[in-house]
Amino acid sequence: MSVLKGTKVTWLGHATVLVEIADGMNLLIDPFMEHNPSYPKDFTLPARIDYVLLTHGHMDHIADAVPVAQKHGATIVGIYELTSYLTGKGAEKTIGMNLGGTVSLPGVDVTMVEAKHTSSMQEGNQIVYLGIAAGLVLTIQDGPVLYHAGDTSVFSDMKLIRELYAPEFVMLPIGGHFTMGPKEAALAAEYLAPQMILPIHWGTFPPLKGTPEQLAALLPDGNIVARVKPGQAI
């Protein structure tokens, strides 16, 4: 797809997305693999994973972060409290950041933006809070600007994300229940004005009822909604 300008994006079910940048750098966002019912079991990750990027500390976003980072020698990037927590869980290389900040990686700038959601893990009977939930904007050198919204409701400051970064390709949760559903995602699309939307966080579990078809039906041009199966690259 020309909108991606040579960058390859592969949805791996739920919110897990592999981003392969033309120069060879590979990024994995929110790895939820082993216990992800929609992960394509026959899919093989590239041997090279440079960075694991995390939106927030819920199990369905970080379950495989440490094992994948260890196996591939990747650096984990996330909000400070979350990367600190994962260091305690065995993560060797981390970059902690926070909202509004940008970390320049080779070939891509990663900017942490707002999301409206929580971020916590359960440890025994305790809930451990891990900072707040975030979204990620990836500004790829000579490539597209991508926005992974993480888990979030719609919020009008998505207009700021458009004004500041103008992402062409946005990954929006549409399942509902724990995040926005198609109705809210349609308004998010109006605020963000992307060229393409990859719907994420849908179809994984029964409560996540929103579908790409429902989102497409609510947009002036439903063709901007990517229809891919987990494991199929865009």
Rule CB under 5 A: which residues touch Ni ion? 58, 151
Q: Which two tokens mark 207?
A: 């409560």
Residues 6+ apart with CB under 8 A from 72: 45, 47, 48, 49
For residue 33, the minimal CB distance to Mn ion (Å) is: 14
For residue 214, the minimal CB distance to Ni ion (Å) is: 21
For residue 22, the minimal CB distance to Mn ion (Å) is: 29
Determine the 3-state secondary structure of 188 from DSSP. Answer: helix
Residue number with CB closer to Mn ion (63 or 91)? 63
Residue number with CB closer to Ni ion (32 or 51)? 32
Q: Which two tokens mark 62?
A: 């970080």
Q: Which of 20, 30, 50, 60 binds Mn ion (CB under 5 A)?
A: 60
Residues 6+ apart with CB under 8 A from 186: 215, 218, 219
Q: Which two tokens mark 228?
A: 């891919």
114 binds, among Ni ion, Mn ion, none (CB under 5 to 8 A by kind): none
Binding map of Mn ion across residues 189-228, x = CB under 5 A, - = no contact = ----------------------------------------
Instruction: Please say whether the beta carbons of 172 and 204 come within 8 A.
Output: no
Identify which range of 57-65, 67-75, 155-163, 185-193 contacts Mn ion by CB under 5 A. Answer: 57-65
C-alpha 28/C-alpha 50 separation (Å) is 8
Helices 182-192 and 158-165: angle between axes, nearest 10 degrees: 30
Q: Footprint of Mn ion on this chain (CB under 5 A)?
A: 58, 60, 151
